[in-house]
Amino acid sequence: MGAGMHGVEATRRITALPDPPAVLVLTTYSTDADILAAVEAGATGYLLKDAPPEDLAAAIHATARGETVLAPPVAARLLGRVRAGRPTLSPREAEILQLLAEGLPNRQISKRLFISEATVKTHLVHIYDKLGVDSRTSAVAAGLAAGIVRPADR
């Protein structure tokens, strides 16, 4: 997609167009953070790349009709999240937690996201509170266990 462009940003830009087309995300990522970010950016559907070709074709047609399409594992994750009352991080908090999982210090996170280090620290306080942890390591571990972030080695 080009330097600095990712699926969520592309979705956001597409859905911001006048009379935008429906967006069906086709991805390998199925963490809560990835799913929520895509949906919040305007995606109408979210399908995993291991979907059978006939499911992909059906999803494309359903999305074009304006229907919402979720891969069964994605729908299960979302339902499980609602039922379990898992902590809900804002998209920015999830993004910061993902960067923590990748090992970035506050200064690099602030530069990457174009925010101040103080703002990063404020987000971390909120993340720690929502996850019930008191350290960066614990936050990343809780985020991985809850499916909020994906492992950094992907």
- Mind listing the pLDDT tens digit for each residue in 25-49? 999 887 777 887 888 889 999 999 9
Which whole number is the average pLDDT over 131-140?
Answer: 88
pLDDT at 65 over 60: yes
Give the pLDDT band of residue 62 (cuts 50, 70, 90). very high
Residues 147/31, Cβ–Cβ less than 8 Å: yes
- The band of 154, judged by pLDDT with boundaries at 50, 70 and 90, is very low
pLDDT at 82 over 80: no
In this predicted structure, what is the pLDDT of residue 30? Answer: 79
The domains found in the chain, sorted by start residue, are 7-84 (3.40.50.2300), 91-145 (1.10.10.10)
Q: Give pTM, 2 decimals.
A: 0.58
Q: Say how far apart CA 144 and CA 57 lie, in whole Å.
A: 32
Cα atoms in the Cβ-side hemisphere of radius 13 Å centred on 132: 5
pLDDT surpassing 80 at residue 122: yes
pLDDT at 150 over 70: yes
What is the pLDDT, as a whole number, of residue 46?
A: 94
| Average pLDDT, rounded, for the chain | 87
Measure the N-to-C terminal CA separation of the chain; round to a whole number of Å.
Answer: 18
